[in-house]
Structure 1
Amino acid sequence: MNDITISIQDKTYRSGHLDDRQHQAIADLQLGVGRNEFVCLLGPSGCGKTTLLNMIAGLDSHYQGHIRIGSQAATAKIGYVFQNPRLLPWYTVRQNIEVVFAQTPPAALIDALLADMQLSDVQQVYPERLSLGMQRRVAIIRAFAINPDILLMDEPFVSLDAPSARQVRNLLYSLWQQRPHTVLFVSHDLREAIALADRLIFLSPPPMRIISDIPVNIPRELRNDEAQIEAFREHLLSQHPAINGLL
């Protein structure tokens, strides 16, 4: 049984330019994601990946189709990690996590998440004193803290240098293994996607459709092996050459 069922017949919006043309962003998109499955969405810039995440999150309801999360889409808890960490500058690290709770924040849970993401020592620091990689880790904690039914991640490691991205990715992966969630993760980096995902979903230019849905069969214990990742990438591109044009 899918934890997320997505069926979008049409998503069209006006261009906003002087000619005010209509732009079809998504057409006939069908996607199911299993419970606690980690799925990566890959496709060319501007193909509609962020638009799709916003629709799933309920931030954009102007489309034809339906999206079901669990048994009750209307009451589903959704964690969203944006490209920009979106931390409140007047709050400390800990306060930026606590702000997502309507009632008393669960101190023990926040302590554990801070420790898991190696941020315990900076929990009373303000965001401006943090590196971008540390800010992104805070944003990830904030999304995990509410124990969401689904976790949406929109290129959360963009703009990080390779070592920082690798560190945050490894911490995210460790956290996800300890606290499994259903994840939809947008990436522009095929190696990154292979290292993280159960499945890779390749998307076309607008109007966005699914071109390929490919399982990643590398054992989880080997996902830090760069040779394994590269071998899978090369095999994937040789078997599906059209993917090159989507990255």
Structure 2
Amino acid sequence: MKDIRINIVDKTYQADGRSHKAIAGLDLTIQRNEFVCLVGPSGCGKTSLLNIVAGLDQQFQGQIQLGDTQNAAHIGYVFQEPRLLPWYTVRRNIELVCSGQPPAALIDALLVDMQLDAVQQQYPERLSLGMQRRVAIIRAFAINPVLLLMDEPFVSLDAPTARQIRTLLYSLWRQRPHTVLFVTHDLREAISLADRLIFLSAAPMQVVADIPVNLSRDEREQPAQIEAFRHHLLDNFPAIAALL
């Protein structure tokens, strides 16, 4: 699969009788199987950007090139809320997104990797929020997407639960690499996951900095290493601090 190219010349929306420019001159290239975190202030348009890439919002000027395909059906999306259907079991919620015969072996493996195989016949209301978030991640991986979009999937979780799921996600991604575009406002979270950090300005959104994260897997599991890299960023890129 070729690289993914995101070029948004202009995204303007109407609210309260006025025009609001959300994105202007945004140009990004995401390499195959790269894990990229988008970091920016609340309300800067990160969710709007993901919706455009997903094909949910087509009212913009520009172009989205999804490698070898232009089919948005090949995109997995993990929203801020799990969005599970309460009348279906965990497994059935995952199977629903699969076209044709659900890939049973893949779903089995994903359930094991995310430590949910024991609850696959439970209904969502019986699960904690953290477990529901893990189901949503499995559902996105189950379609073997060309691009996986993740919009602050660990928001509102307590710190230990969020850390546990981040570790599971990172392990899952290392075993089954996919191109990932992950939105967060948490710099430590971004450092622990990303190959690259893309820092975005307030509206109209533009790229402020594009920085690689050169940490090993072991280093990503050490809070002191994460904190050292965070201080390195803040000391060497002063414009970043204003975005956090």
TM-score by length of 1: 0.96
The residue number in structure 1 matching 2:5 is: 5
Aligned mates of 1:3, 1:181 — CA distance in 2: 12
Aligned counterpart in structure 2 of residue 216 of structure 1, from 203, 206, 213: 213
Please give the per-residue CA displacement for 1:59-87, whole angstroms capped at 9, x wherever unaligned.
Answer: 00010110101122136600000000000
Aligned mates of 1:222, 1:75 — CA distance in 2: 35
The residue number in structure 2 matching 1:107 is: 104
Find runs of 4+ consecutive structure 1 residues off by over 3 angstroms.
Answer: none
The residue number in structure 2 matching 1:47 is: 44
Aligned mates of 1:27, 1:101 — CA distance in 2: 35
1:104-183 residue pairs with structure 2 within 5 A?
104-183=101-180
SS at match of 2:71: helix
The residue number in structure 1 matching 2:189 is: 192
**Pair 1:241-2:238 in alignment:** yes
SS at match of 2:156: coil
User: Percent same amino acid at aligned positions?
Assistant: 72
* Aligned length, in residue pairs: 244
Aligned mates of 1:74, 1:165 — CA distance in 2: 32
CA contact (8 A) 1:2 1:32 kept: no
The residue number in structure 1 matching 2:87 is: 90
Tell me, which stretches of 5 or more residues in structure 2 are unaligned?
none
CA contact (8 A) 1:100 1:142 kept: yes
CA contact (8 A) 1:88 1:127 kept: yes
CA contact (8 A) 2:208 2:239 kept: no
The residue number in structure 2 matching 1:59 is: 56
SS at match of 1:72: coil
CA RMSD of aligned residues (A): 1.1
Aligned mates of 2:116, 2:3 — CA distance in 1: 31
SS at match of 2:85: coil
Tell me, which stretches of 5 or more residues in structure 1 are unaligned?
none
The one-letter amino acid of 1:211's match is V
The one-letter amino acid of 1:143's match is A
Please give the per-residue CA displacement for 1:8-39, whole angstroms capped at 9, x wherever unaligned.
Answer: 11000101x2xx10000000001000000000
Aligned mates of 1:139, 1:73 — CA distance in 2: 24
